[in-house]
Amino acid sequence: MYLSSISNRSLILSLLILASGRLCTAANVEYFSDNGYGNPVSTLQHPASEHYKGVTYVAYSGPHEDPYIAAYDHTAGKWTGPVHAGVNPMGKAPDQVDPGELDNHGRPALIVDRQGYIHLIFGGHGGEAKFGQNDFGTPGKGRQTHIVTKKPGDISAWETLENISPFGTYSQWVKMSNGDLYLFYRHGSHRSDWVYQKSVDDGRTFEHEVSVIKHKSAAGSLIVHDSWYAWFDQGKGNTITASYVYHPCANPGHNAQRNNTYYMLMDCRDGSWTNVQGAKLKMPVTKESADSLTLIQATGKEKSNHGSCHVDAEGNPHIFFRFPGQIRYYRWDGKAWQKASAIGADYSKGSDGDFIVDSPLTVRALLTQNHDGKAEVNWWKTTDGGLNWTKGATLFTMPEVGFQATVLARNAHPDAEMLICAKDPKQEHLYHHMFLVGEKGAISRPTDEASHLGDRLETIKAMPKAHTKAEAKRRKKAGLEDDDT
């Protein structure tokens, strides 16, 4: 009797604790915003988040494909925003329900400068012809736009700085240790050079564009155009790395083909570029010079796609490239490129993400993946230079959705390592929940603070249904997925 009353009491106590726990968490949701729109984030426009002086800033595409930014104060444990930071010239109103109607190229890339001002570049898909002569490629859509906060660390008010080329897309920030900012991007639509502009005054002025990878008609072909997809980041010391893939574009037209993997690096002291062995490159590289001097692997017909690239203490590059259904890891061991290895074959569908190089042989990858009907954010680790990869902790998981990754937050706080989006394939609108994930899972927020859609979903329900799947299939067939144009 006594024992049973004890266990009854503890049962009641447990139920009370459980209930109060539920009550506490019932008011909180794991997403910080519900207004990610279309394909709100990618690893290509990067960084998408940065931790600076105790605050993690995150940027993504929201309603109208406009840039939205939110901030999480790690000391106060409080979210601010999302704030509507600017207007994407490619945005459409009212809300679209057909994914084929969105452009997605104008997602924001974010950087915090030395003084704490936050900069976003967004809105570009090559720039319209009306902006004038494009000396590095062919015009496209939108306008590459640069905005900055009016005050350091305050995301509430923004101003536009007209100091970069409008003809940009896939905008990428590289911030050097001395604070110099490099803005890399493709200077136009898919038949265009990859260029950079440099700023030594915290983004207030930029030097003219410098072309680093050249587009042109393919040698000996009237129907193929040499085009590229590239990814840039800081290397060891005062260097910048470029990892890239080739796009044999159909001319006229376009296709989704990409192949091969390439690597080179810039010495920021004089802007000169070398290949991995240290041989000087004549810039910009062409298909011919890239093939003879910067090729990592000829992949034949197998489709390769950009990933990220980081260096070890010796400056040797470690690179992800994405292949259909898997991420492959490449490493320069000082003498040669090690044979590429796939990471987590059973987890490979929908895999994307970024990684940290701890030493030449020890690398940790944080990947969005699909496994057993669930989307997961998983750590993977190798301690033998990528020959074997072991799965580590799952930081966050959700059933019946797919995650979209970004690169790791710049200077990441352990609680806020990656901004991701969860997409439910069954829903009939294009709004998605946004999460900031770290070692303790996603940083939660009171439901009302995380709700930013107003009556948008009700309005959408009253609209005619989109032929979402048929349209997506048509676009895929036409090679018009959003990284493809």
The single residue among 190, 258, 322, 433 that binds Zn ion, judged by CB under 5 A, is: 190
Q: What is the CA radius of gyration of the chain?
A: 23
Return the closest-CA partner of residue 244 out of 183, 175, 293. 293
Please, is 69 exposed, middle or buried when counting C-beta atoms within 10 Å of its C-beta (0-12, 13-18, 19+)? buried
Q: Pick the catalytic residue: 46, 51, 105, 433?
A: 105
Q: Name which of 77 and 253 has its Cβ closer to Zn ion.
A: 253
Residue holding tokens 């350091």?
A: 152
Q: Which two tokens stand for residue 450?
A: 């995380």
Q: Which is nearer to Zn ion, 254 or 432 (CB)?
A: 254
Instruction: Considering the complex, state which of residue 253 and residue 325 has its C-beta at the smaller distance from Zn ion.
Output: 253
Determine which helix (DSSP H) or strand (DSSP E) holds 469, and give its type and residue range: helix 468-477
Phi, psi of 48, deg, nearest 5: -110, -5
Total number of residues that touch Zn ion (CB under 5 A): 3
Whether 170 is catalytic is: yes
Residue 363, number of CB atoms within 10 A of its CB: 25
Interface pick for Zn ion out of 55, 249, 319, 442 (rule CB under 5 A): 249
Which uninterrupted H or E stretch holds 18?
helix 2-26
Q: What's the closest the beta carbon of residue 247 comes to Zn ion, in angstroms?
A: 6
**Tokens found for residue 267:** 């010495």
| Min dist. Cβ of residue 213 to Zn ion (A) | 14
Give the residue with the Cβ less far from Zn ion, 217 or 292. Answer: 217
Least Å distance, CB 217 to Zn ion, is 13
> Would you count residue 310 as binding Zn ion (CB under 5 A)?
no
Q: How far is the CB of 44 from Zn ion (least distance, A)?
A: 15
Q: Is 105 tagged catalytic? A: yes
- x/- binding map, residues 269-298, to Zn ion, per CB under 5 A? ------------------------------
Cβ proximity to Zn ion: between 186 and 331 the closer is 186
We find the least distance from the C-beta atom of residue 254 to Zn ion, in angstroms, to be 4
| Alpha helix ranges (H) inside 340-467 | 447-450, 456-461
Tally of CB atoms within 10 A around 331: 24
Per-residue contact flags (x/-) with Zn ion for residues 200 to 239, judged by CB under 5 A: ----------------------------------------
What is the token pair recorded at 270?
């004089």
Q: How many CB atoms lie within 10 A of CB 418?
A: 28
Q: Which residues contact 341 (CB under 8 A, 6 or more apart)?
A: 328, 329, 386, 387, 389
Least spacing, CB of residue 195 vs Zn ion, in Å? 18
- Only segment of 12-20, 242-250, 434-442, 443-451 that touches Zn ion (CB under 5 A): 242-250
Residue of 57, 117, 170, 246 with catalytic role: 170
Which among 67-75, 253-261, 264-272, 355-363 is the span making contact with Zn ion, rule CB under 5 A? 253-261
Q: For residue 254, state whether it binds Zn ion (rule: CB under 5 A).
A: yes
- 114 torsion bin: left (phi>0), alpha (psi -120 to 50), beta (else): alpha
Is 249 or 365 the residue whose CB approaches Zn ion more closely?
249
For residues 449 and 446, give the distance between their C-alpha atoms in angstroms, rounded to a whole number.
5
Residues that bind Zn ion (CB under 5 A): 190, 249, 254
Catalytically annotated residues? 105, 170
